[in-house]
Amino acid sequence: MKITAAITGVGAYVPDYILTNKELETLVETTDEWIVSRTGIEERRILKGENQGTSVMGIKAVEQLLAKTGTRPEEIDLVICATTTPDLVFPATANIISAAVGINNAFSFDMQAACSGFIFALTTGAQFIQTGAYKKVIVVGADKMSSIIDYTDRATCIIFGDGAGAVLLEPNTEGLGLQDQVLCSDGHGEPYLHQKAGGSRRPPSAETVAQREHYVHQEGATVFKFAVKNMADVAAQVMERNHLTADDVAWLVPHQANKRIIHATAHRMGVGEEKVMLNIHRYGNTTNGTIPLCLADYESQLNKGDNLIIAAFGGGFTWGALYLKWAYDPKPDPQLA
């Protein structure tokens, strides 16, 4: 009997502080109308406070996930954290999250593929389920993008926010869960979206700090062009090779980078806007957090057997699409019971 890896629960967390477009108008030369018309973003969440790293949000998301699914920490076999903003160079942020929530019987590691990291990590975690090696795998997508954003750079500071989401993967024998994936990367994209300093090639120094090289560098027009084409291409490809029409797709779950990119992907797939998960207006681009945050926001509208196409594009370049069959019907909110 074929084993597939199915998502059996979702958790999420976003910080309390809301950075609005109006506040950004006081930091850089921009307007609310300009930001909304070009990106679809109205506000984003920012993690404030001393010693508050990405793990803080990942911990909250995993704690919620465990509570919602009734899973004990000691049952977890593996934790993968997809992040571009780890707490430290080492140890892995996944290790920090696991220790904080009492996951002591698992091994854990981080995965870095920019904004595509969550779908890469989801596919990786699924392999451990599909081979029969593990029964319960947690995949976290979390980023504190505010820690690497230059709030004097209008090209990037309007886009990014902070947030985290987590999913539980478990074996399924009903044909539900992850069905197929198309994953891609092209290192020639490095010059267009990267962080100049902070790694082994250009370690931190007084010079790199003075030259503001520890922030995200993005050439927006080039990134937009590649993202529109590649995200749409792989989403269409995964549909075509699984003989799916637009009518077969219940939801498109796109990376929340730019509303125009999302609409272009949906148009290429032939999927109407009513089938597109969208929360970019609330959170901006939380990098690895965008897709699990979408799943959390729309969880109550998902039904067992729904066909989902999940697509992302990230710096470097990385991109991909997954075909997933949702594995459970909406669950009642225990707080309302």
Tell me which residues are annotated as active site: 115, 255, 285
8-state DSSP, 273: G
Instruction: Give the separation between CA 62 and CA 135, rounded to whole angstroms.
Output: 17
8-state DSSP, 289: G
Instruction: Give the separation between CA 314 and CA 261, rounded to whole angstroms.
Output: 12
CB 54 within 8 A of CB 286: no
Q: Which residues pair with 189 in a beta bridge?
A: 316
Q: Which residues pair with 324 in a beta bridge?
A: 178, 308
Instruction: Give the separation between CA 123 and CA 101, rounded to whole angstroms.
Output: 24
Instruction: Give the separation between CA 5 and CA 133, rounded to whole angstroms.
Output: 12
**Coil, strand or helix at 190:** helix
Q: Give long-range contacts, CB 8 A cutoff, 24+ apart: 89-95.
A: 93/53, 93/54, 93/55, 93/58, 93/142, 94/140
Which helix (DSSP H) or strand (DSSP E) does residue 178 occupy?
strand 177-189
**Coil, strand or helix at 148:** helix
Within its chain, how far is the Cα of 68 from the centroid? 20
Q: Where are the alpha helices (DSSP H) in 131-253?
A: 154-157, 206-210, 220-241
